[in-house]
Structure 1
Amino acid sequence: MAGRKINPWLKMGLEFGPILAFFLAFGRLKDKTFTLGGTEYGGFILATALFVPLLVATTVILWRLTGRLAPMQIATLVLVVVFGGLSVWLNDERFFKMKPTIIYLLFAGILGFGLMRGRSYLALAIEEAMPLKEEGWMILTRRLTAFFLGLAVANEAIWRTMSDQAWVNFKTFGLPAALFLFFMAQGGLLKTYGTDERPGE
């Protein structure tokens, strides 16, 4: 099901608003410590505590407006709730920092499993939005699988070796920019293997 169309700016705000809110909250709270219920919490944990329910709310709104959610959005929401919740509950920011690694390994694993079976699971998810010939889907899926693995490695390297601010910058700006540049770089493939045929036609 394609879902209902909504204003693209509204869609962008709902998808990226929580990430921007996390970035701004961390910037204001990163050097502060708060005591709640006898336990001290740093700014990173409080920013995470804001991000998790905000993402849940915006995802629900997006679902109500469009009538559907992409599998990637659902998986991301579940992992954010689980790992963000663990970070807040255990007062340990490492769980939240590991979340992008788990997400990208999960996506790479799913796509890689499909490739082992000779299928492109990516095509099943977005074929309506970007129709390609079968060979094109296989090439794009292999590239995206390798790209997701690279993002997982990059996330681990950054959060383990750099400052909290460096990781927040990477999560807020680096990851979206990397995804945007990856798909922009596929222009040649889309031109070569693109088709005007829609699924079911």
Structure 2
Amino acid sequence: MSAESRRHWVRWFVDYSALAIFLVAFFVTGRDLTKATWALVAGSALALVVGIAVERRVAPFPAIAGGAALVFGGLTLVFDDPRFLKIKPTVMNGIFGLALLVGLAMRKNPLKLILGDSLRMPDEIWRRLTVRYALMFLALAALNEAVWRTQSDSVWVLFRFPGLSILMVLFTFSQLPLLMRYMKAEDLPPPPTE
């Protein structure tokens, strides 16, 4: 396995393992959110340690997500109140959405700062894409509120993972027509050889 392939798998592990562990623990423990929260906290800590050990650095987004899981999971366990865990996606998506909008208001473009090396686009397109992502994050925050307040724990857990991840992937795919207009031929992956 090449170093690049190994890094890809480690990144996947760091990004999704804690949520997968949480999902499995929830259903294995008879839909017990407290026990599943213990698994989420342990899985988040493990994912951060693996990421640091393999990549020799703390990647910002997994650190933020893992840190938030530890904080909100810890609050859930300390106060024995699953609402802390349930509002984590609301708070985090709300922060991401607002951060993008505040960045634009300050005449900065956080999305371009993060992805600028991988995509070359005019500033107006970066602004449009940033607004779209900000609105998507705010919509996901509102949707999380609606789901956890009106649905069973089982529905919310499945919405949390894989539901939110699937919605983010679908949204990103919906932005491909905009991005494809600005990708150059040398930026595209080579065609398959077989």
Please give the TM-score of this superposition, normalised by the length of structure 1: 0.83
- Greater Cα shift, 185-194 or 8-17: 8-17
Which string of whole-angstrom CA distances, capped at 9 and with x for unpartnered residues, describes residues 98-155 of structure 1? 0010100110111010111222111112223344332221111000000000000000
Aligned partners of 2:14 and 2:62 also within 8 Å: no
Secondary structure at the counterpart of residue 193 of structure 1: coil
1:89 equivalent in alignment to 2:78:
yes
How far apart in 1 are the matches of 2:73 and 2:84? 7
Runs of 4 or more off by more than 6 Å in structure 1?
Answer: none
Match of 1:165 in 2: 154
How far apart in 1 are the matches of 2:44 and 2:139? 25
1:15 equivalent in alignment to 2:15:
yes
How far apart in 1 are the matches of 2:88 and 2:56? 27
Secondary structure at the counterpart of residue 159 of structure 2: helix
User: Structure 1 residue 158: deviation in Å?
Assistant: 0.3
Q: Which residue identity lines up with residue 173 of structure 2 in the other structure?
A: M
Q: Which residue identity lines up with residue 76 of structure 2 in the other structure?
A: S
Aligned partners of 2:10 and 2:54 also within 8 Å: no
User: Structure 1 residue 83: deviation in Å?
Assistant: 0.9
How far apart in 1 are the matches of 2:55 and 2:5? 7
- Greater Cα shift, 156-165 or 45-54: 45-54
1:142 equivalent in alignment to 2:131:
yes
Does the C-alpha gap of structure 1 residues 54 and 149 become closer, same or farther in structure 2, counting only changes over 3 Å?
same
Please give the TM-score of this superposition, normalised by the length of structure 2: 0.86
- Greater Cα shift, 63-72 or 135-144: 63-72
Q: Which residue identity lines up with residue 152 of structure 2 in the other structure?
A: S
Unaligned runs of 5+ in 2: 188-194
1:80 equivalent in alignment to 2:69:
yes
Aligned partners of 1:23 and 1:172 also within 8 Å: yes
Aligned partners of 1:87 and 1:95 also within 8 Å: yes
Going by fraction, where is helix more abundant, 1 or 2?
Answer: 2
Aligned partners of 2:104 and 2:127 also within 8 Å: yes
Of 39, 45, 56, which aligns to 1:50?
39
Which string of whole-angstrom CA distances, capped at 9 and with x for unpartnered residues, describes residues 30-51 of structure 1? 35xxxxxxxxxxx211110111
Aligned partners of 1:45 and 1:91 also within 8 Å: yes
RMSD of aligned alpha carbons: 2.1
User: Structure 1 residue 16: deviation in Å?
Assistant: 1.4
